[in-house]
């Protein structure tokens, strides 16, 4: 957020996400169903950030768009935008969202309510983070078009400083898994200065392929730990998923977002 701003309310219906957020940042988080949230329960806020479920739009899903029940929360929040008209509305989702009916509905609401809009695709790797996580971002401001954030070539940071000094031995791939999936595992070498981890999804740790990178070690490939992924996402060690099962921890971090990318896209908000 711009300098001088603070978060006054956070809403998520998932129990684990709510607990992780509350443990890190305090009691302004609420576990509410966004699909039925009443406008009067919302705190007064100048800016709203939305990360609606991506499953209705992702290429790995059925792509039911607004016909997917998981899109109901976005549709309802847009009704709340009409009712409350915050100064800034921002949204993040998977690439391809910009070609959906949901996107057209978002733009219709924002255009009707007098918002100027800036949209872009951005990957944290463009900001020097050694991780690919391309996402679609939209930032809208009432009465003004947000300025495109300044872009410049940023040297890529090495991967190794993001890693645990003493990783959990249970992260290593079994011989059976390596024998079965071997060449299909997306393995990155932390000693390579150009190493780039690929998108971590909520299925990481359950699906050996297409859910995120593995890490090369002298004794074979291993999973990234939830803490390592949180560092790559820009949370540092401020957020902990201790107490969650590993499967749930991976789901929480895999459904999160890049702090570096969010900070970058919000830097285009025009001061009032």
Helix and strand counts by DSSP (H, E) for the chain: 7, 9
Is 191 in contact with 160 (CB distance < 8 Å)? yes
Q: Are the beta carbons of 196 and 188 closer than 8 angstroms?
A: yes
Residues facing residue 44 across a β-bridge: none
Q: Determine contact, residues 204/226, Cβ cutoff 8 Å.
A: no
d(CA 204, CA 253): 9
Looking at residue 46, its pLDDT comes to 94
CA distance 118 to 138: 6
For the chain, 272 residues long, the average pLDDT of each consecutive 10-residue run is: 76 94 91 94 95 89 89 97 97 96 98 97 96 97 89 88 96 97 96 94 94 97 98 95 96 95 91 72
Q: Can you tell me the distance from the alpha carbon of 65 to that of 55, in angstroms, rounded to the nearest whole number?
A: 9
Contacts of 25 (CB under 8 A, 6+ apart): 7, 10
Angle of CA points 152, 261, 95, to nearest 5°: 105
Question: What pLDDT score does 200 carry?
Answer: 94
Pairing of strands 135-142, 88-93: antiparallel
How far is the C-alpha of 158 from the C-alpha of 162, rounded, in Å?
8
Instruction: Answer for the pair 171, 222: CB distance below 8 angstroms, yes or no.
Output: yes
Instruction: Report helix, strand or coil for 91.
Output: strand
pLDDT at residue 3, as a whole number: 59
pLDDT at residue 227 in the model: 97
| Cα distance from N-terminal residue to C-terminal residue, the chain | 14
d(CA 15, CA 190): 34
Strand order in the sheet with 222-223: 187-188, 214-215, 222-223
What pLDDT does 4 receive? 65
What are φ and ψ of residue 16, in 5° steps? -65, -45
Query: Judging by DSSP bridges, how do beta strands 10-11 and 88-93 pair with one another?
Result: unpaired
Set out the domains of the chain in order of their start, with CATH numbers. 10-150+257-266 (3.40.50.150), 160-253 (3.90.120.10)
pLDDT, residue 270, reads: 79
């Amino acid at each position: 957020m711009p300098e001088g701003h603070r978060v006054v309310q956070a809403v998520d219906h998932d129990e684990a996400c709510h607990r992780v957020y509350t443990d890190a940042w305090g009691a302004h988080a609420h576990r509410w169903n966004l699909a039925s949230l009443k406008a009067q329960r919302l705190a007064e806020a100048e800016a709203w950030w939305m990360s609606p479920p991506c499953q209705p739009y992702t290429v790995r899903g059925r792509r039911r768009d607004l016909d997917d029940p998981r899109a109901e929360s976005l549709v309802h929040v847009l009704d709340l935008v009409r009712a409350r008209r915050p100064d800034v509305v921002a949204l993040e989702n998977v690439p391809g969202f910009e070609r959906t009916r949901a996107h057209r509905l978002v733009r219709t609401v924002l255009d009707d309510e007098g918002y100027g809009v800036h949209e872009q695709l951005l990957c944290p790797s463009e900001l020097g983070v050694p991780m690919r996580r391309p996402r679609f971002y939209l930032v809208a401001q009432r009465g003004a078009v947000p300025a495109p954030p300044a872009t410049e070539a940023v040297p890529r940071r090495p991967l190794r400083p993001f890693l645990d000094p003493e990783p959990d031995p249970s992260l290593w791939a079994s011989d059976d898994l390596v024998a079965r999936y071997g060449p299909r595992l997306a393995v990155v070498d932390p000693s390579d200065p150009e190493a780039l981890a690929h998108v971590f999804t909520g299925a990481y740790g359950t699906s050996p392929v297409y859910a995120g990178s593995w890490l090369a070690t002298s004794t074979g490939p291993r999973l990234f730990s939830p803490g390592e992924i949180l560092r790559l996402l820009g949370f540092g060690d401020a957020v902990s998923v201790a107490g969650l099962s590993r499967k749930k921890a991976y789901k929480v971090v895999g459904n999160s977002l890049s702090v570096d990318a969010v900070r970058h896209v919000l830097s285009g908000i025009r001061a009032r």
